[in-house]
């Protein structure tokens, strides 16, 4: 087993748990990437969510990106629009997998009867 420094362990644990502050600190490139893209904050946030859907990303990624999108003024309806827009390209299974993660990131509960 590798010897891991306490601060490295704490950072990895926080990132794994989806801690938004830890993610921003650990990754820290969000603002530079946004500026380099030439996109406004809202567009950048929506593109990031679309990429998560396409990649079948882990739940913690949705928590972070949806929070960033909401901070940029993106509405839940626009996030649903992204889900609909990418569906033909990424396929139904990716959309079905992403929908509950987006719901949880928006603070919604999953209705098992739906």
Selection from 93, 101, 20, 103 nearest residue 57 by Cα: 101
pLDDT, tens digit, 9 for 90 and up, residues 35-79: 777 899 999 999 999 999 999 998 888 988 999 899 999 999 999
Instruction: Name the residue range of residue 42's domain.
Output: 6-105
* 114 domain residue, yes or no: no
Chain CA centroid to CA 45, Å: 9
Q: In CATH, what number is assigned to the domain containing residue 57?
A: 1.20.1290
Ranking 22-31, 43-52, 62-71, 93-102 by mean pLDDT, the lowest is 22-31
Total tally of structural domains belonging to the chain:
1
* 111 domain residue, yes or no: no
Q: Is residue 95 within 8 Å of residue 102, measured between CB atoms?
A: no
When pLDDT is cut at 50, 70 and 90, the band that residue 30 belongs to is low
* 110 domain residue, yes or no: no
């Amino acid at each position: 087993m590798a010897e891991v420094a306490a601060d490295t362990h704490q950072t990895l644990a926080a990132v794994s748990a989806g801690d938004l502050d830890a993610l921003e600190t650990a990754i820290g490139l969000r603002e530079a990437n946004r500026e380099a893209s030439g996109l406004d904050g809202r567009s950048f946030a929506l593109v990031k969510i679309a990429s998560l859907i396409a990649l079948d990303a882990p739940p913690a990624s949705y928590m972070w990106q949806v929070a960033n999108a909401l901070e940029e003024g993106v509405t839940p309806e626009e996030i649903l629009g992204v889900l609909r827009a990418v569906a033909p390209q990424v396929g139904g299974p990716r959309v079905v997998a992403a929908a509950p993660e987006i719901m949880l990131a928006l603070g919604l509960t999953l209705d098992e009867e739906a």
